[in-house]
Amino acid sequence: MSDIFREVDEDLRRDRLEKLWKRYGVVIVSVVLVIVAGTAGYVAWRDRQHTEAETKTAQLADVLRLAGNSVGPGANAGANGGGDPKAAADALSAFASQNGAGAGTLARFFEAGLRARDGDSAAAVKIYDELAQSSNVEPSYRDLATVLSVMHQVQTGDPGQLTARLQPLTADGNPWRHSARELTALLAIRSGDKATAGKLFAQLQADPAAPSGVRSRATELAALYSAEPR
């Protein structure tokens, strides 16, 4: 990967953000979706505390099985006779509409991911925004929904507005702070603020708590923007 960045000319072209996002966008989305998928175990454990929640969890598991290869980070529609992303998303939507928090919330996250994979980013953003604004969703999930919403608008949305949405999530202690800071840096590039972008990438590079993937990308991008680690 370093070889790729060594070939980049110091005179940055205006379309660099789009190229960077094409390189890293799938990686970032996949990492976040893996985190979302990992919460399923916790949801299942919690739901087992009472019979009604157990039933909901079992129903969600059935929907995910029916969705087949369409559901899950890195899955490709059609692979191994895989499922139809739109049909799977519709099934998850129907399940979520009949269930509340917990399993229903998780179903909406998976639905949004499938809508985006099927090319309907607008529908995905709408779902993420609804989750982010719902008082029935736990705060950590609302923050995650905000990160994912911004992620799907990083090339098209208003940089100032999106940065403002991310700002509370960049605070120390927020579980999504590293993704929020990375996205904030990308938005700074769109705004032409290379100094801020470089500073944020350098901070991520030097942060031992940052996931390895984030630190690796930050190292390359901090070098690209001539930022010195702090």
- What rounded mean pLDDT belongs to the chain? 77
What pLDDT, on a 0 to 100 scale, did the predictor assign at position 226?
A: 63
| 7 pLDDT above the threshold of 60 | no
Dist CA 205 CA 221 (whole Å): 9
What pLDDT, on a 0 to 100 scale, did the predictor assign at position 79?
A: 41
| 130 pLDDT above the threshold of 70 | yes
Confidence of residue 11 (pLDDT cuts 50, 70, 90): very low
Mean pLDDT across the stretch 169-195? 95
Residue with the larger pLDDT of the pair 12 and 86: 86
Dist CA 194 CA 198 (whole Å): 6
| 153 pLDDT above the threshold of 50 | yes
Give pTM, 2 decimals: 0.70
Would you give the distance in Å from CA 191 to the centre of its chain? 21
Handedness of CA 45, 51, 57, 58 (dihedral sign): positive
